[in-house]
Structure 1
Amino acid sequence: MSDTAGEGVLEAQIEQWRGFVRRRRAIAPPDLEEMEDHLREQIADLGSNGLDDEEAFLVAVKRMGNLDEVSREFAREHAHRLWKQLVLVPEADDGAGGLARWRDLGAVLAFALGAGLAVKLLLTSVDDEFAQFRNLAFVVLPFLAGWFAWKRRVPWRVCAAAVGVAAVPALAVNLYPFETTSGPDPAPGMTAVLAFTHAPVLLWLLVGVLHTGGHWRSHERRMDFVRFMGELAMYLALIMLGSAVLVGLTFGVLSLVEIDLEPVMEDWLLPFGLPGALMVAAWLVEAKKSVVENIAPVLTRVFTPLAFLMLVADLTALLVNGPLTTVDRGLLILMDGVLVLVLFLLLYSISARDPLAPPNVFDWLQLALVGAALAVDAVALTAMLTRIAEFGFTANKTAALGLNLVLLVHLVWSAWLLAGFVRGTRPFAAVERWQTAYLPVYAVWAGLVVVVFPPVFGFA
């Protein structure tokens, strides 16, 4: 191996080590830099004694000691850091770091205000409620993507490419001649519903490209986006619950003095509050990720066994519901929703796990969860194929079938890799990489449903 190639491999190993250490909430960036300097000194010393780069790296990491013990020691010595991180903005004496945090907060509030104004403009300029709903993601997510592009300093070529790709579903859902059902209350056809429900999936994964700073090929950056999604859901849920309590109390108090807050709610609070909550939650994830990381493993350990029991109950309901041709379509749709939820739980569990820790009981439980999901998916697929054979293809049946096939491939290979890990024949890194490598498949599938399905099925 040439010196240049060897240096590239070593730098990749050190970058992987940095990503692992960054997950330790008590280790701040300056401490990480100091540890990396020490690691490089160790590697250089070992290299001068005749070891090659890979051997020197492994020995140096071993000499650095157990990182969990290092993290605990840092936490004992610098416990005040964790409390400071809970403050929304830094103290006045934080110097350049404090100014950067204030600048980030100001920027996210500006983007949140822009998103609120865009939603308000959409609601006031478009009378069709369906048109409002199908365009909501197109007026909110660009501001989140724009904030990431600003924060990560994403190259303009990447931004232009993301805008170009996002324009395709935007034009499709607004210009396709979708049919509507006849009757006193006309409703959009199935291809229209499929298009505007799948378009946000594609847009969200485009947001992920900008979240990675344009480095969408990087496994580590994609996994960071997975963590971001899980933590965003937690923060957003807390913000929405807290806001609901405050708004409810305000409604109650003002109703006693005969003040109607409902017009203000419809005209201002909802248009600005919902996108604002999304933007603020995203900012909190970025600013407080080191505080939330210790919550994520606890949540995944609580919900994984509950999800397993839920899947067993769902599988039983599918099997005892009579012949598969009589399985209710609504039940199959709910099963798809359950499988997607389980997939998110699997992704977040994997993203929150220590990749260097040995297999444990929780890994076996995850394998059981994936196995139960596979069983439910197999039964649902069989029911769908049976219904298609009897009644023929429709847009919604084809979309459900395709989603189940996409989920099946994801779950099958995840189960295979997890089984190898718990048996000690495969590293956990292989499980991680499969999750991030498969994410673009969902974007491709969502794009097909939005762009290809409507003309294929006659826009009905």
Structure 2
Amino acid sequence: MTAASDHDLEGQIAEWRSYMRRRRELRHTDGEELEDHLRSQITELTEAGLHGDEAFLIGVKRMGSFDELSREFAREHSERLWKQLVLPGEPDASTAARTRRELPVMVLCAAVAALSVKVPGLFGIGFDDEGTFYARNLSLFALPALAAYFAWQRRVGPRVIGVLAALFVLGAVAANAYPLSDDSQSVVLSTIHLPLALWLVVGVAYVGGDWRSDRRRMDFIRFTGEWLIYFALIGLGGGVLTAFTVGTFNAIGLDAEGFIQSWLLPCGAAAAVVVAAWLVEAKQSVIENMAPVLTRVFTPLFVAALLAFLVAMVWTTNGINVERDALILFDLLLVVVLGLLLYALSARDPGARPGLFDRLQLALVVSALIIDVLVLVAITGRITEWGFSPNKTAALGENIILLTNLAWSAWLFLGFVRGRMPFGRLEQWQTRYILVYAVWAWTVVLVFPLVFNFG
């Protein structure tokens, strides 16, 4: 083989290795064993006269799909999942040293996040005294600590740290410097959009400043889905803890509700943001087994729900209510659909052929696209009749952004399902579209209050 073909072959093997490492059922030694086997297959085939890329494809095909390999290793080592969940396992020296370094830093960042919730109280700002202050600043309590944890873990440079700090300061100024009344539409929009804008800032820290990399952005998308699962699990456990705390203290005549409302719930929620992120990094193998299962369970259910909604609309000839609560509900629905799509893409074997689940995802995207068009028609009619307002303008912009994403995703998915377009095009489109969400979120937070005179 020539030097150029050798380089191309190593690139293909590196891509295969990168995807294989996402399957945490396979340990590092398992991966090395599989790669050695693949290289042996390639050598045998190239000696028989095949080109390197042909040998690579045939070698991977002979070894079987990633899912089959994962299941095979899971069956052979069925005790691993339980050990990964409840035991520290038998890490090598480097892994053990990393855990010893990261755990105290995580605890420190979680403590900073928890205590930051109480800092406004030092200046006389209580939970019941300042109306929307805590709602507007909610993301500023926990996310800077989370970004700091990832910045330390990824060893980012001073320039990236400066960008992160500047963006968080900008968010704090936008949340507190504008003269927004508690009942204004702009304060509600800021409360909703600032956490999204700052979460994407955390993403810059998570990828170590390498935001131009499609692969690293997809890693952050995968992390977001796994973080949500862990945060929800911690929240459920916290609810049980709260119930037992109230009950046991009531049994001895003490009222613990004040402590719970002022300390346990707000501080615990802020700390859980950091703890959930640490758990994703430390126990990734457990969630990477659960998340694809949840995606495959809920995708057909959402397809059925959206199709039932469209049939009911046609049957009853009822239009969509465009009041604020209804608009938020529909936007959340479309976001959940995109979340299912994104996480399914991140967990998919890029070399696998289109199957039934891919067609279900296409049906999900097309159904959501139709609903988005109907919502846009309703919003446009309302704006034509009553004029622009912060809520209606934000809803219009968000649905146009979602419509663009859904429409092009449907086109790319259709091409992939029909075998006319590579899967990578769809994945690349989604990872690059994150920038659009970031720009829009910051626009709503920074520009809308000025355009609508802080109304």
When normalised by structure 1's length, the TM-score is 0.89
Say yes or no: does 1:293 pair with 2:285: no
Counterpart for residue 217 of structure 2: 222
Aligned equivalents of 1:7, 1:458: Cα separation in 2: 62
Is the contact made by 1:355 and 1:428 (CA closer than 8 Å) also made in structure 2?
Answer: yes
Structure 2 residue aligned with 1:125, among 98, 117, 123? 123
* Contact residue 136 and residue 187 of structure 2 kept, 8 A: no
How far is 1:353 from its partner?
A: 2.4
Q: List per-residue Cα deviations over 1:248-290 (Å, max 9, x = no partner).
A: 0221122121111112213321232112222221111111211
Computed over aligned residues only, the root mean square deviation of the Cα atoms, in angstroms, reads 2.7
Residue 447 (structure 2) aligns with? 452
Q: Which amino acid aligns with 1:22?
A: R
What does 1:221-300 align with in structure 2 at a 5 Å threshold? 221-300=216-295
Q: C-alpha displacement at 1:63, in angstroms?
A: 5.3
Is structure 2 residue 143 aligned with structure 1 residue 144?
no
Following superposition, the deviation at residue 8 of structure 1 comes to 5.6
Could you say which residue in structure 1 is the equivalent of 2:110?
Answer: 112
Residue identity opposite 2:167 in structure 1: V
In structure 2, relative to structure 1, the CA distance for the partners of 1:64 and 1:306 (3 Å cut) is: closer
Residue number in structure 2 paired with 1:72? 71
Q: Which amino acid aligns with 1:104?
A: E
Q: Does the CA-based 8 Å contact 2:142-2:273 persist in structure 1?
A: no
Paired residue secondary structure (2:85): coil
How much has 1:110 moved relative to structure 2? 1.4
**TM-aligned CA deviation for residue 39 of structure 1:** 4.5
Q: What 5-or-longer segments of structure 1 have no aligned partner?
A: 181-186
**How far did residue 157 of structure 1 move?**
1.8
- The separation in 1 between residues aligned to 2:146 and 2:214, in whole angstroms, is 22
Partner Cα separation in structure 2 for residue 429 and residue 331 of structure 1 = 35
Structure 1: distance between partners of 2:154 and 2:342: 24
Instruction: Report the CA distance shift for 1:165/1:10 in structure 2 as closer, same or farther (over 3 A).
Output: farther
Q: Give deviations 1:49-83, integer Å, cap 9, x for gaps.
A: 77655345434434555444433343344444333
After superposition, residues 420-431 of structure 1 pair within 5 angstroms as 420-431=415-426
For 1:159, give the aligned amino acid.
I
Q: Is the 8 A contact 2:322 2:379 kept in 1?
A: no
Q: Tell me how far 1:318 sits from its aligned partner.
A: 5.5
Query: Any idea what the Cα deviations from partners look like across 1:142-188, whole Å, max 9, x if unmatched?
Result: 1111111122222232222222233323212221232x2xxxxxx24
Partner AA of 1:97 in structure 2: T
Summarize the alignment of residues 141-220 of structure 1 with structure 2, pairs less than 5 Å apart. 141-178=143-180, 180=181, 187-220=182-215
Q: Is the 8 A contact 1:90 1:101 kept in 2?
A: no
My pick for the range that moved more, 379-388 or 22-31, is 22-31
What is the CA–CA distance in structure 1 between the aligned matches of 2:437 and 2:85, rounded to whole Å? Answer: 35
**% identical aligned pairs:** 51
For each residue in 1:106-127, what CA deviation from the matched residue of structure 2 results, as whole angstroms up to 9, or x when unmatched? 2211110111111121344352
Report how many aligned residue pairs link the two structures: 450
| Letter aligned with residue 155 of structure 1 | G
Name the stretch that deviates more: 5-14 or 302-311: 5-14
Residue type matched to 1:157 in 2? R
Does the alignment pair 1:97 with 2:95?
Answer: yes
Q: Which amino acid aligns with 1:382?
A: V
Between 422-431 and 43-52, report the one with greater CA deviation. Answer: 43-52
Show the counterpart of 1:404. 399
Shift of 1:330: 3.1
Residue 199 of structure 1: how far off its partner (Å): 1.1
